[in-house]
Amino acid sequence: MKIHPIIMAGGTGSRLWPLSRETYPKQFIRLHGEDSMLQATIKRLHGLAGITDPLIICNEEHRFIAAEQLREIGQLSHNIILEPFGRNTAPAVALSAIQIAKQDPEGVLLVLAADHVINDEDAFYTAIKSAILHAQTNKLVTFGIVPSHPETGYGYIKKGQPQGNSAFFVEQFVEKPDLTTATEYLLSGKFLWNSGLFMFKASCYLEELKKFSPDILQCCQLALNHTASDLDFVRLDKVEFEKCPSDSIDYAVMERTKDAVVVPMDAKWSDVGSWSSLWDISAKDHDNNVLHGDVIAINSTNNYIRAENKLVTTVGVNELVIIETKDAVLVMDKNQCQQVKQVIEELKKNKRNEHQVHRQSYRPWGHIDLIDRGNHYKVNNTKVKPGGKISLQVHHHRSEHWVVVSGTAKVIIGEKTKLLSPNQSVYIPLGEKHALENVGKIDLELIEIQSGYYLAEDDIIRLEDYYNKRNKG
């Protein structure tokens, strides 16, 4: 019997703004350790036997970030399914189950979220080994986290009759409670936090989905009938998938099936749903502060302070979250972390874009850091990884001036090709076709100055498209 890990890497993680943004959400950020949360989730699987290569379900907009992070840890193998639209967890798992069932009808899915922290891996492995026994008998297993305090930010699972020594029938799924109710749950010992992690045979999940949510199953089957391979990705039929209802596994199947069991997991787990929850699970200094980056904290206690680019100093402050990024700073009472969503709403209302994008944006060939901009100019620091190419393209509203800082650039302008080394520059007139390639062994870094009356990213006509970007960004 093989275990097929399915990693759900969708979502935006808006409560961890300003570090997490729509175009670069928390699962791709190095929040807890040296790896991104997605990478840590995959590496955690190495401690289990009988595991196949993971299948990643991710938003189409994040495809190049996901692929690069899998490549960094040697796990990229045409194993990313792209969702053109977010449709919650039930369809995401259905897509995976359909794919796996074709190859391995008795295959067991281990469904994991890409943005969870698990600090006790031995307890994690123990719970999974227990779950395997129940999945083999056609049960649909969910993992319930043993609660450590009366949490109001999670849903709960009420334990029913024992199933052997390691599991219980699911008696009830409960929505997020108020504090009084959460305290009662904790004291009763009958409730577990709903982790959103699952294990079941692909065939069993599809059978229950057909019984309780046949419209989801049908849409996913049709969306997979006409997939397209694109680099390391599997693209769905957009027309069919757009028709798919949006629903969670809990609502679509787990709350309705008679075969749901819950395996308790006491693995120092967190879904890192807020800055305060990240403070809870992080190592602290002698003043109970969690400090990342260039930070000096004087007479300051119980804070979470993260400096991404600049020196951050505090004097005499307590119970704060302070997050510094290149284009935004958040200062917040640590006990009001759930109110970050109000900042997001205000940004949207004022038609700003800081909830969507960072100053630094990522491309399949590298990244761009917006250094400065005015009414008719923009200055970027652009880095292109070895072998990376910027597609042959034309701009109708801007000219560009490139200055190489490091590395070697192969530049095409019109019908001419030239090599540029550090301190050399080139000018691209408005309307002239051009392309760029890093032909060296180190990163190519250049300063790009754009000038014109319209500088938006949609002023790109690609004549060659190496990465199937379809004139977006």
pLDDT at 393 over 60: yes
pLDDT at 424 over 50: yes
Predicted pLDDT at 468: 65
Arithmetic mean of pLDDT over the chain: 93
Q: Taking Cα atoms as reference points, which of 178, 98, 185, 94 lies closest to residue 147? A: 185
CATH topology of 3-270 equal to that of 360-462?
no
pLDDT at 232 over 60: yes
Predicted pLDDT at 473: 39
Q: What would the mean pLDDT of 399-428 be, rounded to a whole number?
A: 96
Predicted pLDDT at 472: 43
* Burial of 171 from C-beta contacts in 10 A (0-12 / 13-18 / 19+): middle
SS3 readout for the chain: CCEEEEEECCCCCHHHCCCCECCECHHHCCCCCCCCHHHHHHHHHHHCCCECCCEEEEEHHHHHHHHHHHHHCCCCCCCEEEECCCCCHHHHHHHHHHHHHHHCCCCEEEEEECCCEECCHHHHHHHHHHHHHHHHCCCEEEEEECCCCCCCCCCEEEEEEEECCCEEEEEEEECCCCHHHHHHHHHHCCEEEEEEEEEEEHHHHHHHHHHHCHHHHHHHHHHHHCCEEECCEEECCHHHHHCCCCCCHHHHHHCCCCCEEEEEECCCEECCCCHHHHHHHCCCCCCCCEEECCEEEECCECCEEEECCCCEEEECCECEEEEECCCCEEEEEHHHHHHHHHHHHHHHHCCCCCCCCCCEEEECCEEEEEEEECCCEEEEEEEECCCCEEEEEECCCEEEEEEEEECCEEEEECCEEEEECCCCEEEECCCCCEEEEECCCCCEEEEEEEEECCCCCCCCEECCCCCCCCCCC
pLDDT digits (tens, 9 = 90+) for 293-332: 999 999 999 999 999 999 999 999 999 999 999 999 999 9
Sequence ranges of the domains in the chain: 3-270, 275-348, 360-462
Level-2 CATH architecture, domain 360-462: Sandwich (2.60)
Overall fold of domain 3-270? Spore Coat Polysaccharide Biosynthesis Protein SpsA; Chain A (3.90.550)
Q: For tokens 């069993």, what's the residue?
A: 204
Q: Taking Cα atoms as reference points, which of 323, 325, 326 lies closest to residue 340? A: 323
Cα–Cα distance measured from residue 338 to residue 449, given in angstroms and rounded to the nearest whole number: 40
What lies within 8 Å, CB to CB, of 315 at 6+ separation is 298, 299, 300
Q: Beta-carbon neighbour count of residue 189 at 10 Å?
A: 10
Cα–Cα distance measured from residue 51 to residue 354, given in angstroms and rounded to the nearest whole number: 39
pLDDT digits (tens, 9 = 90+) for 108-120: 999 999 999 999 9
Cα–Cα distance measured from residue 14 to residue 8, given in angstroms and rounded to the nearest whole number: 17
* Burial of 324 from C-beta contacts in 10 A (0-12 / 13-18 / 19+): buried
pLDDT at 216 over 50: yes
Backbone angles phi, psi at 294, to 5 degrees: -85, 90
Q: What would the mean pLDDT of 347-357 be, rounded to a whole number?
A: 93
pLDDT at 391 over 80: yes
- Signed CA dihedral, 58, 64, 65, 68: sign only: positive
Reading the block at residue 334, the tokens are 């640590």
Predicted pLDDT at 469: 58
Predicted pLDDT at 33: 87
Predicted pLDDT at 296: 98
pTM (two decimals) = 0.88
pLDDT band, very low/low/confident/very high, at 252 (cuts 50, 70, 90): very high
Note whether 159 and 153 are within 8 A (CB): no
pLDDT at 375 over 80: yes
pLDDT at 471 over 50: no
Q: What would the mean pLDDT of 31-58 be, rounded to a whole number?
A: 94
Reading the block at residue 18, the tokens are 């300003």
pLDDT at 464 over 90: no
Q: For tokens 């408005």, what's the residue?
A: 430
pLDDT at 126 over 90: yes
